[in-house]
Amino acid sequence: MNIDSKRVLITGGAGFIGSNFVLRTLERYPHAKLYNVDKLTYAANPRGMERAECSGRYQLIRADIAHGETMRTLFERIEPELIIHFAAESHVDRSILGPAEFIRTNIEGTFQLLEAARALHTASKPIHFHHISTDEVYGSLPLDEGAFTESTAYDPSSPYSASKAASDHLVRAYYRTYGLPITITNCTNNYGPRQFPEKLVPLMILSALEERSLPIYGEGKNVRDWLYVDDHIEAIWAAIERGRVGETYGIGGGEEKNNLEVVECIAQIVAAEADMDAEAILARRVFIRDRPGHDLRYAIDPQKARDELGWTPRESFESGMRKTVRYILENRALYDSIRSGEYRQWIAKNYTKRGGEAA
Ligand code: NAD
Ligand code: TDX
Q: How confident is the model at residue 359 (pLDDT cuts 50, 70, 90)?
A: very low
Q: What residues are annotated to the active site?
A: 135-136, 160
Q: How many CB atoms lie within 10 A of CB 278?
A: 16
- From residue 273, how far is each of 68, 242, 284 by CA, in Å? 47, 39, 18
Note whether 234 and 306 are within 8 A (CB): no
Answer whether residue 44 shows pLDDT above 60. yes
Model confidence at 354, pLDDT cuts 50, 70, 90, reads: low
**CATH class assigned to 7-192+227-254+298-315+343-350:** alpha beta
Q: For residue range 13-35, list pLDDT tens digits in order.
A: 999 999 999 999 999 999 999 99
In short, whether 105's Cβ falls inside 6 Å of ligand 1 is yes
From CA 32, how far away is CA 337, in angstroms rounded?
32
Which residue of 138, 199, 212, 219 sits with most ligand 2 atoms within 8 Å of its CB, as the best mutation to test the pocket? 199
Q: Which atom of ligand 1 is nearest to the CA of 189?
A: 40
| Ligand 2 centroid distance, CA of 225 (Å) | 11
Contact in structure between 261 and 294 (CB atoms under 8 Å): no
Q: Is 163 in the pocket of ligand 1 (CB under 6 A)?
A: no
- At 288, which helix (H) or strand (E)? strand 285-288
What pLDDT does 357 receive? Answer: 44
Give pLDDT tens digits for 151-164: 999 999 999 999 99
> Count of alpha carbons within 13 Å of 140, Cβ hemisphere only?
11
Ligand 1 centre and the CA of 133: distance in Å? 10
The pLDDT mean for the chain works out to 95
What is this structure's pTM? 0.97
| 73 Cβ neighbours under 8 A, 6+ residues apart | none
pLDDT in tens, 63-78: 999 999 999 999 999 9
Q: Where are the domains of the chain?
A: 7-192+227-254+298-315+343-350
Note the pLDDT of residue 219: 97
Rg (CA), the chain: 20
Q: Which residue pairs, CB below 8 angstroms and at least 24 apart, start in 33-36?
A: 33/6, 33/7, 33/8, 33/57, 33/58, 34/8, 34/10, 34/58, 34/59, 35/7, 35/8, 35/9, 35/10, 35/59, 35/61, 35/74, 35/78, 35/80, 36/10, 36/11, 36/60, 36/61
pLDDT of residue 353: 64
Residue 204 CB less than 6 A away from ligand 1: no
In the prediction, which pLDDT does 64 show? Answer: 98
Answer whether 22's CB lies under 8 Å from 84's CB: no
pLDDT at 143 > cutoff 80: yes
pLDDT at 343: 74
Q: What is the DSSP string of 313-346?
A: ----HHHHHHHHHHHHHHTHHHHHHHHHSHHHHH
Is pLDDT of 331 > 80? yes
pLDDT band at 48 (very low <50, low <70, confident <90, very high): confident
Ligand nearest to the CA of 92: 2
Dist CA 101 CA 55 (whole Å): 33
Alpha carbons 313 and 294: distance in angstroms, whole number: 27
pLDDT cut 70: percent of the chain above it? 98
Work out whether strand 223-225 and strand 256-258 pair parallel, antiparallel, or are unpaired: antiparallel
Q: What is the mean pLDDT of residues 214-243?
A: 98
C-beta of 109 in contact with ligand 1 (< 6 A): yes
CA of 345 to the centre of ligand 2 (A): 27
Nearest CA to ligand 1 atom 28: 86
Compute the distance between CA of residue 170 and CA of residue 299 in angstroms, rounded to an integer: 24
Q: What percentage of residues in the chain have a pLDDT greater than 90?
A: 89
Q: Average of pLDDT values for 203-214?
A: 97
- Closest ligand to the CA of 232: 1
In DSSP terms, which residues pair with 130 in a beta bridge?
A: 84, 183
Residue of the CA atom closest to atom 8 of ligand 2: 200
